[in-house]
């Protein structure tokens, strides 16, 4: 396990404990996700956070003023702490670790489904029910469309990949035929 992963999990566990004490588990997740997505999608924000000539106090003060009143203080304080310790590059990893910690504690899992075309709400619900029964947790489905996918779908829950894609089936068939011939 890499050092970054261990550090991310520590921050995530501490954030989850605070969120759980205050009854803000899902709000914390939503707010943290918004900030992480903003940092990931805006090059200027990333440049600002990683600029060595801007003091830590300025970065933290700017962050807190930008989100003041819009986010839980525990989220802002956690992000400020990451910035102060030079770990602004770990924001996405801390969010992922938070999702895992919260999921384990709440009996919830996130399924990242990749398909060749968008899934309807009914299809997503059916997948959530099916995989929920399989793993014994409540499953939330996130659908990503990959037009290069020939057909079928892949489902990633944590570290487990369920490959029901046509490409995956053809690869398994090819491997079985290679094994049978040799």
pLDDT digits (tens, 9 = 90+) for 78-91: 888 888 888 888 88
How much is the mean pLDDT over the chain?
86
Nearest Cα neighbor of 14 from 82, 109, 64, 83 is: 82
Q: How many whole angstroms separate alpha carbon 9 and alpha carbon 6? A: 5
Beta-ladder partners of 112: 142, 156
77 pLDDT band (50/70/90 cuts)? confident
Q: With pLDDT > 70 as the criterion, what percentage of the chain qualifies? A: 95
pLDDT (0 to 100) of residue 2:
54
- Residue with more model confidence, 146 or 150: 146
Output the six-digit token pair for 162.
Answer: 């369920």
Contact assessment for residue 102 and residue 14, using Cβ atoms and an 8 Å cutoff: no
Positions of CATH 1.10.520.20 in the chain: 3-103
Question: CA 29: distance to chain centroid?
Answer: 10
Q: Write the pLDDT tens digit of every residue in 2-60.
A: 556 788 899 999 999 999 898 888 888 888 888 888 888 888 888 888 888 888 888 88
Q: To 10 degrees, the CA torsion angle through 68, 73, 74, 78?
A: 40
Order across the sheet with 138-145: list the strands.
138-145, 108-115, 153-157, 160-163
**CATH architecture of the region 3-103:** Orthogonal Bundle (1.10)
Q: Classify domain 109-181 at the CATH topology level.
A: Glutaredoxin (3.40.30)
| In the predicted structure, residue 162 carries a pLDDT above the cut 80 | yes
> What average pLDDT does the segment 75-79 reach?
87
pLDDT (0 to 100) of residue 122:
94
pLDDT (0 to 100) of residue 3:
58
């Amino acid at each position: 396990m890499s050092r970054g992963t261990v550090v991310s999990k520590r921050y995530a566990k501490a954030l989850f404990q605070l969120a759980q004490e205050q009854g803000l588990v899902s709000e914390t997740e939503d707010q943290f996700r918004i900030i992480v997505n903003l940092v990931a999608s805006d090059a200027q924000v990333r440049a600002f956070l990683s600029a060595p000539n801007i003091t830590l106090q300025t970065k933290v003060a700017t962050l807190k003023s930008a989100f003041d009143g819009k986010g839980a203080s525990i989220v802002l304080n956690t992000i400020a702490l990451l910035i102060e310790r030079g770990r602004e590059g770990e924001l996405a990893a801390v969010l992922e670790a938070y999702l895992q910690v919260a999921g384990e504690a709440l009996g919830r899992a996130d399924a990242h489904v990749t398909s060749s075309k968008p899934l309807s709400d009914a299809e997503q619900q059916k997948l959530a029910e099916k995989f929920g029964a399989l793993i014994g947790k409540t499953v939330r489905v996130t659908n990503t469309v990959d037009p290069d996918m020939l057909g079928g779908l892949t489902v990633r829950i944590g570290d487990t990949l369920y490959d029901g894609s046509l490409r995956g089936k053809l690869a398994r068939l090819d491997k079985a035929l290679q094994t049978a011939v040799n």
